[in-house]
Amino acid sequence: MIKSPIPYGHQCIDQSDVDAVVEALQSDWLTQGPAVERFEQSMAKYCGAEHAVAICNATAALHLACRALEVGPGDVVWTSPNTFVASANCALYCGASVDFVDIEPDTFNMSPELLATKLESAAKQGRLPKVVIPVHFGGQPCRMDEISALAKRYGFRVVEDASHAVGADYHGSKIGSCSHSDIAVFSFHPVKIMTTGEGGMAMTNDPELARRLRLFRSHGITRDPKYMEDETEGGWYYQQIELGFNYRMTDIQAALGASQLTKVNQFVARRRQLARQYDAAFRGMLLQPARLADGCNSAFHLYVIRVAIEKISHTRREVYDRLREAGIGVNVHYIPVHTQPYYRRLGFKRNDFPNAVHYYEGAISLPMFYGLTDEQQQFIVGAVAEALQ
Ligand SMILES: *Cc1c(COP(=O)(O)O)cnc(C)c1O
């Protein structure tokens, strides 16, 4: 029997995760403590990065990444329109403005060619971005070698929104190693590759950025006399030297995260297998899965298809509704950020980024998660074939 509805994503929690959380609950720490530090160290080791800073969620981590890079009023931050709103909002939190770079029509990631063109004209107008935030959409790494070459040439900083990409590799190195960026941010929301309930992590190889991320994570307060503006007054003494936040992760969450991390390769391997099976089953159908670019090994947070709505007699909405009626919890990623009412009020027009809009108009995300069975997947493939008829 097929259990219905099949969600598009679902966490995988086993007894060892439960045990790890219970152990944290029975320890002396509940808020940020030794479990957070252990989780940070394992994550840094897993990714091959120097520093990992655990943060209460990826939205806050993106905000801190922008603060650490001193994004402020008068600055411009560029990201992809094909993303969750958080990738763009982080710049607005800092008082900066946002612009977008359109996607490639086949990988659905930010196009390095369009980035190069946009940089060329921005340089002429003296409006170069301070930070560019490429998003590894669905878990597929962006073409980071080209993006980082442009960063060197034009002098901007790079923050990877790697919310979808824990466990993805780019030319043999793990996403999160920051070999082509200043900071990379992960999300541990339950629907992502691994979870802490709510949670995020910022990776960096720069000790000064790591220090600033930690400082802003906890109110802008330091207890290190080296960074104080006056003499310390005693063992109790701390100073607030920046306007920070309370963006800490709890030890309860970190215990879950560390336990999940031990299984992440297994999670990603199954997702890759499911993706290959979808690819094979869909060959010849009137839909387009994401093309995987050279050297990009996706972690497959999402399996998205673009339905060839130009060639079938149904709208995307009809295909979506038919799949929902069949008990398949399909979703759509993403409504282009610049078309959201809030962003329209900032002056963006629907056709400013036509590739993102064209992709969106046929986009459907199919179920993709560790616990999805082959039997469920075959049922989904059959339902997709039928919905396109
Ligand atoms: C999920 C997600 C975020 C936000 O993550 P939270 O941990 O829920 O704050 C940011 N960017 C992208 C691309 C995401 O998918």
- Alpha-carbon span 201 to 371, nearest angstrom: 24
Ligand 1 centre to CA of 166 (Å) is: 12
Please provide the average confidence, as pLDDT, over all residues in the chain.
97
Ligand 1 centre to CA of 236 (Å) is: 37
Do 257 and 276 reside in the same domain of the chain?
Answer: no
Of 206, 235, 261, the one marking the end of a domain is: 261
Mutate to test the pocket of ligand 1, among 84, 135, 160, 183 (most ligand atoms within 8 A of CB): 84
- For residue 293, give its domain range: 264-388
Do 73 and 134 reside in the same domain of the chain?
Answer: yes
Q: Which atom of ligand 1 is nearest to the CA of 333?
A: 15
Angle CA 197–11–46, to nearest 5: 75
Does residue 163's CB lie within 6 angstroms of at least one atom of ligand 1? yes
Please say if the pLDDT value at position 4 is more than 90: no
Of 200, 231, 261, the one marking the end of a domain is: 261
pLDDT, one tens digit per residue, over 227-264 is: 999 999 999 999 999 999 999 999 999 999 999 999 99
- The residue whose CA has the least distance to atom 10 of ligand 1 is 86
pLDDT, one tens digit per residue, over 8-63 is: 999 999 999 999 999 999 999 999 999 999 999 999 999 999 999 999 999 999 99
Does residue 84's CB lie within 6 angstroms of at least one atom of ligand 1? yes
Do 53 and 104 reside in the same domain of the chain?
Answer: yes
Does residue 253's CB lie within 6 angstroms of at least one atom of ligand 1? no
Does residue 302's CB lie within 6 angstroms of at least one atom of ligand 1? no
pLDDT, one tens digit per residue, over 287-317 is: 999 999 999 999 999 999 999 999 999 999 9
- The residue whose CA has the least distance to atom 6 of ligand 1 is 58
pLDDT grade for 1, boundaries at 50, 70 and 90: very low
Do 95 and 116 reside in the same domain of the chain?
Answer: yes
Ligand 1 centre to CA of 85 (Å) is: 8
Does residue 189's CB lie within 6 angstroms of at least one atom of ligand 1? yes
Please say if the pLDDT value at position 3 is more than 70: no
pLDDT, one tens digit per residue, over 207-217 is: 999 999 999 99
